[in-house]
Structures are given as structure tokens and as C-alpha cells.
Amino acid sequence: MRSIQALSLVFVVSFMLAAGAAAAETSPHQDDGWHFAVIPYLWLAGLDGDVRSGRFSSGGVEASFDDLFDNLEAAFMGVFEARKGRWGALFDVMYIDISGSGDAPDSLIGEVDVDLKQGMYSLAGFYRALEMPLALDFLAGARYADLSVDLDVAPGKYPQLLKGRSVSDNMDWWNAFLGLRALYPLGKRWSLAGYTDFGFGGSDTTFQVIGAIKFKMTAHFVLDAGYRYLYLDADDNELVYDMSIGGPFLGLGIVF
């Protein structure tokens, strides 16, 4: 990471995984029994936007997934779904830990070290409004996000003018969201899926669109692949985020 602009990526990469709702739906067929799905997934996302913490601004952020992955310490991403008849619920969880360091472009500022820990948890209920051949679900739920950031700035070329400093900040919020999900079979093993949701509340705006193709490998294993786009606008007194995030994703699930 060569600049403070690149380092600021760790402030916003936490929002790469907002809700894996599209990945969990595995079958358009309706019956009265219980159906479950557990799907770990990975989103290979890049981002474009702006982030600010106190007086520190990114001045604009644009980076690929490779840029973000180089600074990844730990991550877990997955979605669980339960359905019976036309009613169901899903739970999406994400935890990510990222750290990075590098030199700032301004000689008054020395090396910058950043550490970020982020959790995001989404819980939604849904109702199946249409069935066969097109399955259509309406969703409503809540999403909680918790973010902590530690920023250390070393003195630069003229330490007598600008000393080093450390900044620690945290931010959390609740959002309500409404969503729509569709699944259309292409045969016994293949199907198309689409999902969108709109969030409001603790953050100013969240908007998400997902398109995927699903392959039923066996009776209990399904492979999901597609593209996901998320727009997020959130702020408090210190942290400000305005970010567009998009890229392909891949999930391998167990259904029973």
C-alpha cells in the first residue's frame, strides 16, 4: 500500500458483505416440510468512493479485490436459511479483520498504520408470494453493523512541525431493510436468482442488487456464482462513508 489513500481502503472493506440473501434460496419447489441451507461465501469485490475519519480524508478511494486481500488478517462470511411452507427466515453473518501500513504522499506525514475490525449481522423474515415456475419472496429485516478503527500516524519530514498521533474510533448502527428475491429454474440442476434490498435507519442509505446462477451438484450441495453491487452511505460525528462496492461472488452450500 503506497499511500494514505490506499490505506484508507481498510476503513470501508468491512462493507463488502452486506446480506447473502440471494445465495441461500436453493429450490423453487413448495411443500409443507422444513428446508434448511448453510452457505459460506466469498465476495471478490472492488470499491470506489470516499471515506473520512476526523480530519483524515481518503481524498477518494478506488481499489481492486487484490488490493484489499493483501491486507486481510481474518474473515468469516456465511448465510443460514430456514423455510417451512411459504414462510421462512435467514441470518447472514460477516466478520473481518484488516490491517495495513505505508507511507503517506505528504512529507509532513510519515508512515501510517491502520487496523480495522468489523462485524455485520442481518436477520430477515420472508414470505413466498409466487410459486412455480417463478418463485418470488418478499423480505423484511434488520441489520446491525459494528466497526472499530485504530490509526497510527508517524512524524514526517519535519517532526518539529507535525508530531505523530494515534486515533481510535468506533461506530455502530441498526438498519431496517426491505427486499425482493426471485428464483427461476432452467432445468433440473440449473436456475437463475435475483435479489435487491433497500436499507434505512442508522445509516443514511444502503442499496443492494445481486444476480446469480445456481448449480445443484448433488441432493445436498449447491454452487452459487454471480455478481453483487452494494451502495452504502453512513456517518456519525467522526467516521464518514460513501462507497460503491461491486464484484463477483462464489458460494458452496449444504441444503437439507
Q: Give DSSP secondary structure letters for 195-237.
A: EEEEEEESSSEEEEEEEEEEEE-SSSEEEEEEEEEEEEEEE-S
Instruction: Report the CATH number of the 4-255 domain.
Output: 2.40.128
* Banded pLDDT at 118 (limits 50, 70, 90): confident
pTM of the model: 0.75
Helical spans, DSSP H, in the chain? 4-7, 9-12, 21-24, 65-69
| Domain positions in the chain | 4-255
The answer to whether 226 and 212 have CB atoms below 8 angstroms apart is yes
Instruction: Report, in angstroms and rounded to the nearest whole number, the Rg of the chain calculated over CA atoms.
Output: 20
**DSSP letter, residue 191:** E
pLDDT tens digits, 190-219: 999 999 999 888 777 788 899 999 999 998
The three cell numbers of residue 89 are 427466515
Residues ≥6 apart with Cβ < 8 Å to 12: 47, 49, 51, 61, 241, 243, 245
Coil vs helix vs strand at 59: coil
